[in-house]
Amino acid sequence: MGKFDDLTVADLMELRGLFGALPMPRDLTTGRDDSAWEIGKNYLIRTVTMIDTGRLVAVTRQELVLEDAAWIADTGRFSDALVSGDFGEVEPFPDGCVIIGRGAVIDALELPAPLPRVQK
């Protein structure tokens, strides 16, 4: 099998550490996070199975964390809802955090305040 046969457990642990501790993307000139996500902004996030809204409070390598979140079961006319923030059917999550896996995200956009929080 070649050079892989010569790897020790210590070598594998070192490799694991290198790949498991990759930093968030950074702008090489400023050192700032170059992620498009902005903490504190209201978002509508479409995932492979549903649409959620909420205020973004944290971004990790694999997750987005929302507060004041709701599942949008029916947007009504999508373009109109994006402008007005008025949706056809809203199911608010209880107070607290909602965690969304970043691998499920299709697209997202900033929403005008206020967030939908009343069941409809």
User: Among residues of the chain, what percentage have pLDDT more than 70?
Assistant: 78
Question: Could you read off the pLDDT of 1-57 as tens digits, one per residue?
Answer: 467 677 777 776 676 666 654 455 555 455 566 678 999 999 999 999 999 999 999
Residue with tokens 């949008």: 72
The Cα 112–Cα 20 span in angstroms is 36
Amino acid 84 reads: S
CA atoms within 13 A on the CB side of 35: 17
- Let me know if domain 3-110 sits in CATH 2.30.30.100: yes
pTM of structure: 0.72
| Beta-strand relationship, 89-92 and 98-101 | unpaired
Whole-number pLDDT of residue 11:
72
Domain boundaries, the chain: 3-110
54 bridge partner residues: 43
Token couple for 55: 């205020």
